[in-house]
Every structure is written in C-alpha cells, then in structure tokens.
Amino acid sequence: MRRQWLWPALAGVAAVAFGLGVAELVAGLLAPRASPLLVVGSLMIDLAPPWAKDAAIALFGTADKIALLVGIGLVLVALAAFAGWLHARRPLLARLLIVAGGIFGIVAAMTREGSSLLDAIPATVALVAAVLALSALQKRTPAESPRDGDLSRRRFLGWAGGATAIGAVAALGGIALQAGARAVTAVRDTFVLPRAATTAPPVPAGAELAVDGISPLVTPNAEFYRIDTALQVPNLDPTQWSLRIHGLVENEVVLTWDELIALPLEESYTTLMCVSNEVGGGLIGNALWLGYPLRELLTRAKPAGSADMVLSRSSDGFTASSPIEALTDDRNAILAVGMNGEPLPLEHGFPVRMVVPGLYGYVSATKWVTELEVTRFDARTAYWTDRGWSERGPIKISSRIDVPRGGSFDAGDVVVAGVAWHQHTGIAKVEVSVDEGPWREAELAAAINVDTWVQWRYVWDADPGQHVLRVRATSVDGEVQTGEEQGVVPDGATGYDAVGIDIR
Ligand SMILES: Nc1nc2c(c(=O)[nH]1)N[C@H]1C(S)=C(S)[C@@H](COP(=O)(O)O)O[C@H]1N2
Ligand SMILES: [Mo]
C-alpha cells in the first residue's frame, strides 16, 4: 500500500520519456532545429532575466548550457512523475497537464528565429505519444494483492522499461540526425558575407508607401515564402560545396565555394514567385540578393550554339529547366549566396542557390544547387515538367490587393493598396474597379527596378453597401492583365484578385 504512488509515477516518467524520445526522432527527420528539449532550453535562455544568466554563468561557467538542460530534465522527470500520480486519480487533469507541456513545447519551437510550421510537429508528437503511452501503462500498473503482485509488478516494469528504452533509442537516432543540421547552422551563423563589389542602386524615395498592412517592399527572410520538395533541408557544408557546369560546353567548369565568394559579387533586388501562387496568394517575396552573374560562369564554359536550356540540379536531386537565354542575357540571373544581407537561410538554399528575374521558381530558382547541365529542351526534362507543369515558366503579369482583405468599413475614403508585378518587364499602371465598374487608375509607387514588384494605392470614396474590389495591372510593354480565370497548372494562374467589402 505504501507504494501506491510509485507505480503511477513511474508510468508517468516512462510515458514522457517515450513521447520525448519519439519526438527527437521526428525532429531529426523533419525539423532538425525543433528538438523539444532544445527549443524549450532556448526559450528559457531568451526569457531568463539578466541576473539569472549571470548567476548561471557564475555558478556553472561554460557548463551553463549543460546545467540548464539537466535542470530542464529534472523538472521534466518531476512533472512526469506528478502527471502519472495524477493520472491514477484524475486522468483528465493529468492529460491536460501533458497537453499544457506539449503546447509549451510548440510555443517554444514556433518562437525560434526562422521557424516554420513543420517545427510544431515534434512537440505535438511528444504530447500525443506521451498521453497514449500513459493511458496504456496506467492500465498495467501492478495489482496490490500479495498473490498476483509479483508477476504483475514484473510485467509492469517490463512495459515501462520497454517504453523508456524505445524512447531512448529513438532519441539517440534523432540526435544523430540533428547533428548534421546543427553543424551546418553553426557554419552559417559564423560566416560573414563578403562585401558586394557592385551594390544595388538605392531604393528610390517613395517606393515604399505608408499604408498599414501593405506587403513590405522587401520581404524579411523569416516571412519569405518557402516552397520545395525537401522533407529534410539539405545540410551542405560550404567548404565541401562545388558547382559543376557540364554538358554541351566547350570547357567543363568546376567552381568551389572559396572561388565563388572571392569573385566580384553583385547585389540586386529580385521578386521571386512560385507558379503555384493562386491569384491573390502569398507565394511571392522580394529580397536583396548577393551573388555572381550566371552569364559570366556560362561564358567561361562556352555553351554550344545548339544548347537552348540549362538544367540546374540540387544536392537533393531537384531539377529545374531554364531557357539558356534567360541565364545569358543582360538580366540579373545569379548564383546567390546572400539574402537581405545574410547568408542564405538553410531553407532558402544555403550555401548557394539560383535567382533568375522573370521566371517562376520551379524553372529557375534551384536551391542547394550543385550542378548546371547545358543541354536542350528536347533532350532533358525537369522535376516539375515531368509532373505536368509547363516546360517554360515565364512569370505572368499580376497584381494583388493587400488591404483591405475584407471586413467592414465606414462610408467615405477607404485606402485600398497592394502590389503588382511583371518581373523583367515592369509595371506601368495599376487600376482598381468597384463592382465591375470602370477601371480607375491607382497611384503607383516608384519601382526599385523592373525585376521587382511595385506598390500601389487607391483612395476609394465608398458608399454604404456590399462591394467587390478588383485590381489589374498593365506592364511597361502595354500588356494588360487578363481577367480570364485560369488555375495554377500548368504555367501559372490568371484572373483578377477580388475582395468583398462591407461599407456601413
Ligand atoms: N532544391 C530545390 N530548389 C527549389 C525547389 C525545390 O523543390 N528544391 N523549389 C523551387 C520552387 S517551386 C520555388 S517557387 C522556389 C521557392 O524558393 P523559396 O523557398 O526560397 O521561396 O524554389 C525553387 N527551388
Ligand atoms: Mo514554385
């Protein structure tokens, strides 16, 4: 009877060990920077008041981080034991306690710099696995009767020990998988971008309109959309990286990282966009890239006159087919190493990616790029073209209403604003129409260059009632955005972005 608290408490500890172990493995596979233990540790470091940090360093010196993790571990064991004890009495409360712990882990993961939705998965897995394991183990806590006690005790210890062992093995696997990603993160964090030999012309005054809720002219890296097929972000050590240019060329070229960053690098603003962006969607972003012109590298390789395509390949086997003229004409098609003043974030292609103004990402923006094969469209196909997407992907002229995105407003002046783009051509005009009425010209902000989106705004004198706003853009070469609706497959969506507004 004395031990009535012991078995449930052990069940709690084993269940939490199982859950966290499995979560480490999931983190290793899907989200190497979202190990629940480590993100909680990082959150504690962020939240700790300065005196606590000083005290920890005074007490533990350089072992302060180990001390923190050991401390978190002890608190976890205590909480897990308590949850187990509670589960034997008030199962619902115990589950709530574990769920609260899991949510704390999710918040910790999501508040890390550059986190994505994937980073919420490990802590979610931990909480679900721990709740299920705890219910299962609780049912097997030993009977107290002297006759069956011994056997059921041994059986319980087998189950609890088994769960803990599975957790431990999973955790070890997960930690091994995470190590590679952490090593590359460390390399990236200490890498200082070389200075640009050619800086981008300053952003013109008036390019950024002061409208609440409009897309920022330059998209912060943490908010930049991410699209790729990489379940695990490739971990490329820059010192091991090289780019091979081969195929229909006179000279095969191999470029190493040291050679690349020693070249005169150029800065340029380019707006990148995904072909899967629906009209009005968010798969578009503008950044200041730092890189070296692909044109120069291809000149070194001397492509054959018969070549009409460059198939770029990433370390994880993704391929994109770019028309060779887009990489050899005078546009800023680059091999990029920097994004908004930082080394490329891991998810955006560290250490090296391509950026080509005017082409959708799937035919040009290869991240973690390691190979360029100079070839022909009739000889090679690329990852997405094999899956039904168009062989060529020039970006279509388009525009988006950022504000208002619905809702209700008072009658009178309502500021409508957004962005418009036709990379490598440029936008000449943006117009707004209310309830399919006449198109009225909006105010167009200065453009950074023809490869970037441009902001616009329109002051609408709104009458009470339900209204629908539409926007359309006209490019510098006179092309007017079509209202004909087409889905994203096979070569990008068309149609007008439309927003319903209620005016009081
Ligand atoms: N290696 C690799 N590069 C890739 C992709 C990919 O799946 N793998 N996706 C492409 C697509 S479809 C787009 S839209 C852009 C997105 O780049 P971003 O994630 O930096 O915004 O990357 C391109 N480069
Ligand atoms: Mo894309």
Beta-strand runs (E) in 359-426: 369-375, 398-403, 408-409, 412-421
> Tokens for 482?
């079509």
Rounded to whole angstroms, how far apart are CA atoms 435 and 140?
66
Distances (CA, A) of 449 to 73, 204, 289: 53, 9, 13
- Ligand 1 pocket, mutate which of 118, 228, 370 (most atoms under 8 A from CB): 228
In tens, the pLDDT along 54-67 reads: 787 778 876 777 88
More confident residue, 20 or 64: 20
- Element housing 213 (H / E): none
Is a pLDDT exceeding 70 seen at residue 476? yes
Rounded to whole angstroms, how far apart are CA atoms 466 and 500?
7
Distances (CA, A) of 446 to 272, 395, 455, 480: 19, 21, 8, 19
What's the confidence (pLDDT) of residue 230?
76
Indicate which residue's Cα is closest to atom 20 of ligand 1.
Answer: 348
336 CA → ligand 2 middle, Å: 17
Q: What is the mean pLDDT of residues 301-330?
A: 97
In tens, the pLDDT along 228-287 reads: 887 668 889 999 999 999 999 999 999 999 999 999 999 999 999 999 999 999 999 999
In tens, the pLDDT along 126-157 reads: 999 999 999 999 999 887 666 667 888 889 99
Is a pLDDT exceeding 90 seen at residue 426? yes
Rounded to whole angstroms, how far apart are CA atoms 273 and 227?
10
Please state the pTM of the whole predicted model. 0.77
Q: What is the mean pLDDT of residues 149-174?
A: 92
Indicate which residue's Cα is closest to atom 21 of ligand 1.
Answer: 226
Rounded to 10°, the helix 64-89/91-110 angle is 150
> Tokens for 255?
């470029």
What's the confidence (pLDDT) of residue 52?
79
- Give the domains, in start order, of the chain with CATH numbers: 2-177 (no CATH), 221-387 (3.90.420.10), 398-503 (2.60.40.650)
- 25 confidence band (pLDDT: 50, 70, 90): very high
- Give residues with Cβ within 8 angstroms of 52, minimum separation 6: none
Phi/psi of residue 400, nearest 5 degrees: -140, 140
Residues with CB under 6 A from ligand 1: 224-230, 272, 274, 314, 316, 318, 348, 361-362, 365-368
103: left (phi over 0), alpha (psi -120 to 50) or beta: alpha
Rounded to whole angstroms, how far apart are CA atoms 31 and 44?
20
What's the confidence (pLDDT) of residue 497?
98
What's the confidence (pLDDT) of residue 63?
74
Indicate which residue's Cα is closest to atom 1 of ligand 1.
Answer: 367
Indicate which residue's Cα is closest to atom 19 of ligand 1.
Answer: 226
